[in-house]
Amino acid sequence: MAAERSGGGDPARTLALLWRTPPEPKPVGRKPKVSVDQIVTAAIAVADREGLDAMSMARVAQELTVGTMSLYTHVPGKGELIDLMADTVLQERDLTSDGTWRERIKHYADRTRAVYQAHPWMRDVSMVRPPLGPGLMDGQEFVLAALADSGLEPKQVTVAHVAVEGFVHGAAASEVDDQQLAEKTGESGDSWWSARQVFWDDYSDVERYPTMTSLWNAGAYDTGGTLAQTMRGSYDYGLEKLLDGIEGGMR
């Protein structure tokens, strides 16, 4: 449960792993059965299929037909493995795009969103103390470059950066949260909500919730689409409005 993350270990060791600093070939000694890359790939595969909860050291080792403890020769611990997984999937973003600064940020948001869609377990990875690997850093540079081109002052760029980054990861996370729960519980978001329709009958109260009632009566909730489509729409809307605000504040 809770926010899965590393951080505890030796920073130098973790950074060396993230950047795949040459493991200085060992001419002697037993040959490794697995590599760091294989471990990370297998871990991502397990998490994609069964969620981060199911991504146990034992499960990954089993995937590679290797003893559990063998993994610890190549990776300091589970936290660091999650760092490696996160940075690896963030590298899947293809951040080459021309266009206005707004277009570039929307491109960044789209690519990041795609990462979360492909790897729903990213919801459980905290980005407050992020893995400082190439995947994350390239993304930071991309967004900062776009914002710097927008005409904002340097100090404003860094503040706006945190806001944008927070919005993008946060929105991608909640959007994906739904699928993640659907996979784990075997119940889709739409069916979860309809099973709770009883709420309106038994507990809702026009006196207490007049706005909700009148919005409902006005048909504001007849989206005509799935929950996923609605969330996607709000994602786009929110980012658009945030960028509008940033742009408007530059005058």
Partner DNA sequence: TATTGTTTCCGTATGTCCTACGGAAACGGG
Partner DNA sequence: CCCGTTTCCGTAGGACATACGGAAACAATA
- Judged by the rule CB under 7 A, the positions of this chain that interact with DNA are 26-34, 54-59, 66-70, 72-74, 77-79
Closer by beta carbon to a copy of itself, 32 or else 170: 170
CB of 7 vs DNA, minimal distance in Å = 12
Mask for 18-57, x = binds a copy of itself (CB under 8 A): -x-------------------------------xxx----
- Using CB under 8 A as the binding rule, whether residue 174 contacts a copy of itself is answered as yes
Give dist(CA 133, CA 135) in Å, integer: 6
Q: Quick one: tokens of 222? A: 């007849």
Binder to a copy of itself among 22, 155, 206, 251 (CB under 8 A)? 155
Closest Cα partner for 90 from 108, 103, 71? 108
Binder to a copy of itself among 127, 135, 139, 150 (CB under 8 A)? 127
CB of 60 vs a copy of itself, minimal distance in Å = 14
CB of 174 vs DNA, minimal distance in Å = 24
Q: Quick one: tokens of 42? A: 């297998």
Mask for 133-152, x = binds a copy of itself (CB under 8 A): ----xx-xx--xx--x----
Residue 4 sits at φ, ψ, to 5 deg, of -80, 130
In this structure, what DSSP letter does residue 179 have? H
Closest Cα partner for 17 from 76, 68, 59? 76
CB of 34 vs a copy of itself, minimal distance in Å = 23
Q: How many CB atoms lie within 10 A of CB 222?
A: 8
What is the torsional sign of CA 193, 238, 107, 41? negative
CB of 46 vs DNA, minimal distance in Å = 10
Contact present, 120 and 71 (Cβ < 8 Å): no
